[in-house]
Amino acid sequence: MDTLRTTLQPITRSLPAPIRDIGLSLIGPDCYKSLILDIDINNTSCLTLALSKTLGLATVAGSSVVKLPQILKLLSSQSAAGISFLSYALETSSFLTTLAYSARNGFPFSTYGETAMIAVQNVVICLLVLKLQGKTVLTGGFLGALAAAGYALQSEELVDMGMLTKAQMGAGALGVASKVPQILTIWQEGGTGQLSAFAVFNYLIGSMTRIFTTLKEVDDKLILYGYIAGFILNAVLAAQMVCDGPLNTFCLLLEGPSNSISRG
C-alpha cells in the first residue's frame, strides 16, 4: 500500500484546478484530503460517501437516455400498445414536486438530478402517446398544466415550504401510484406491448441506487420511503417484462387474463 501511495501521490497532489474543485465539491475537503491527497483507503466513511456520489452521478448520467429507447420504440412502431398515459402523467407530476422540494431544500444535485432528466423524457412520451391515441387536442392542456404547476412549486410566494412539504408527501404516494396504471395496463392487455425493457430495468436499478444514496446523503424519510415503494413496484414491472416470454403460473398472474387465454 505504501508503494502505491508513493506512486500515486505526486499525481493526485498536482491535479488540475478544475478537477480538484470538482472533487472538493463532491466529497468535501476532509474526504478529499483523506482519499485523494493522502490515499487513505481505510477511511470507510469517506469511501462510502465517494461511492454514493459516484453512483448518484452515474444515475443522473444514465437518466439522460433512460427513456430514449421507449421514445424510439413509439416512433418506430407508431403504436402506443401497452403504454399507460396516466402512468407517465402521474409520474411526471410527482417529479415536478420532488424537483422543487429537493432544490429548495438544498439537497445535493447528485441525489435528485435524474428526476429532471426523466421528467423531460416523460413529457415527450406523454405527447407521443396522446398523438398515437388520436388525442392531440389534449396536448396543449397537458403542457399548460405542467408549466403552471412547475412555476407555482418553484415560487416561495405561491407555495411556502410548509405547503411544499405536504405536497411532497403526496408526490411520494403519487410517484408510487403512477406505476399501478402501467401494471394494470399490461395485466389487462396480456403483454408489455411497446413498453421498453431497457427503460424498465434501468428504472429498477436506478430506484435501488437511489435508496443507497438517499440513506447516505439525505436525512429525509419522505424521499427514502418513496424510493423504497417505487423500487417494489418497479420490480413488479420488471417481472412482467421477464414474463412476456416463459410460461409459468406466476407469470400468468402478472400478465393478466388475455395472455392466460391465449396461452391456454
Chain centre distance of CA 180: 16
The pLDDT value recorded for residue 263 is 44
Report pTM. 0.65
The pLDDT value recorded for residue 80 is 85
The pLDDT value recorded for residue 259 is 52
Indicate if 34 and 54 belong to the same structural domain.
Answer: no
Chain centre distance of CA 139: 24
- What residue ranges of the chain have pLDDT lower than 70? 1-2, 4, 59, 62-63, 110, 244-264
What's the angle, vertex CA 27, arms to CA 113 and CA 58, rounded to 5?
35
Alpha-helix residue ranges (DSSP H) falling in the chain: 2-12, 17-31, 44-63, 68-77, 85-105, 113-132, 139-154, 161-177, 179-189, 197-217, 221-242, 249-255, 257-263
Indicate if 20 and 70 belong to the same structural domain.
Answer: no
Q: Which structural domain range is residue 164 located in? A: 50-263
The pLDDT value recorded for residue 1 is 61
Residue 208 CB contacts under 8 Å (≥ 6 apart), including other chains = 231
Indicate if 10 and 61 belong to the same structural domain.
Answer: no
Indicate if 164 and 115 belong to the same structural domain.
Answer: yes
Indicate if 137 and 21 belong to the same structural domain.
Answer: no
CA 20 to CA 4: how far, in whole Å? 20
The pLDDT value recorded for residue 144 is 92
The pLDDT value recorded for residue 108 is 77
Indicate if 201 and 96 belong to the same structural domain.
Answer: yes
Residue 178 CB contacts under 8 Å (≥ 6 apart), including other chains = 86, 87, 88, 89, 90, 91, 94
Task: Please tell me the total count of domains within the chain.
Answer: 2
Sequence letter at residue 60? V
